[in-house]
């Protein structure tokens, strides 16, 4: 628990298939925020059915760690980290998502979620953790910088239609 964390009812738990509708709804809100910062960002829209087909097998894969942030028993955030090359020793881990609903931000829950994801990566023997955030997402840039992440590449897209 971080020092500035206000709401003792917040907890982090593993995600399960039942959480998929809430996760997809939160991902939609994240994508909206991201497109506002960068309209050409390469973001793939997913229906619940498409998302479930694509992602639900990973929920029982030991190389993936899905987490739900709950407040007063309701999902208010989620995170996903996984090993990039689990067949190799000391694989990198990749944070694919870290999201909190707007009214839950700046109260320490992001740090709490990250601590959980990093603890999982360490427990898997990962040598480092990588992530990306969309241009224009200043809150993400400030948060990740504060948490010790440093940029090392640029991501680009050229659409084919
Ligand atoms: C990014 C996110 C997960 C951070 O979670 P959070 O709970 O708001 O962050 P915390 O309260 O734990 O902040 C930890 C520190 O990060 C920095 N920080 C976080 N958000 C910040 C912001 N909007 N502006 C400036 N600094 C910020 C601060 O130094 C903060 O410490 P402080 O509050 O004591 O000053 C959250 O803002 C979020 O879900 N944003 C929308 C989704 C998103 O963009 N996710 C990342 C996609 S890659």
Give per-residue pLDDT as tens, 2-21: 344 546 789 999 999 999 99
Does 42 map to a domain? yes
- Residue 83: closest CA among 102, 64, 109, 58: 64
Name the residue at shortest CA distance from atom 29 of ligand 1. Answer: 146
Does 73 map to a domain? yes
2, 38, 99, 106: residue to mutate for ligand 1 pocket, most atoms within 8 A of CB: 106
Average predicted confidence (pLDDT) for the chain = 95
Rounded to whole angstroms, the Cα distance separating 7 from 72 reads: 9
110 CB neighbour count, 10 Å cutoff: 24
State the distance from the centre of ligand 1 to the C-alpha of 106, rounded, in angstroms.
6
| Axis-axis angle for helices 20-37, 48-55 (nearest 10) | 100
Does 6 map to a domain? no
Q: How many domains are there within the chain?
A: 1
pLDDT (tens digit per residue) in 20-43: 999 999 999 999 999 999 999 999
Rounded to whole angstroms, the Cα distance separating 90 from 74 reads: 35
Domain that holds residue 102: 11-146
The pLDDT of residue 8 is: 73
Copy the structure tokens of residue 25: 């709804």
Does 3 map to a domain? no
Does 156 map to a domain? no
CATH number, domain containing residue 24: 3.40.630.30
Does 158 map to a domain? no
Long-range contacts of 33-39 (CB under 8 A, 24+ apart): 33/137, 34/134, 34/136, 34/137, 36/136, 37/134, 37/135, 37/136, 37/137, 37/138, 38/134, 38/135, 38/136, 38/137
> Does ligand 1 come within 6 angstroms of the Cβ of 155?
no
């Amino acid at each position: 628990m971080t020092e500035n964390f206000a709401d003792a009812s917040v907890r982090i738990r593993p995600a399960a298939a039942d959480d998929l509708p809430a996760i997809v709804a939160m991902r939609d809100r994240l994508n909206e925020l991201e497109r506002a910062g960068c309209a050409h960002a390469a973001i793939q829209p997913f229906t619940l059915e498409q998302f479930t087909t694509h992602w639900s097998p990973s929920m029982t894969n030991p190389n993936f760690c899905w987490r739900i942030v709950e407040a007063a028993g309701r999902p208010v955030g989620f995170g996903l980290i996984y090993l990039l090359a689990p067949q190799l020793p000391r694989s990198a881990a990749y944070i694919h998502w870290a999201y909190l609903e707007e009214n839950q931000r700046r109260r320490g829950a992001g740090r709490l979620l990250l601590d959980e994801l990093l603890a999982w990566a360490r427990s898997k023997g990962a040598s480092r953790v990588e992530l990306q955030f969309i241009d224009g997402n200043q809150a993400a840039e400030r948060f990740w910088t504060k948490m010790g992440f440093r940029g090392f590449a640029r991501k680009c897209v050229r659409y084919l239609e």
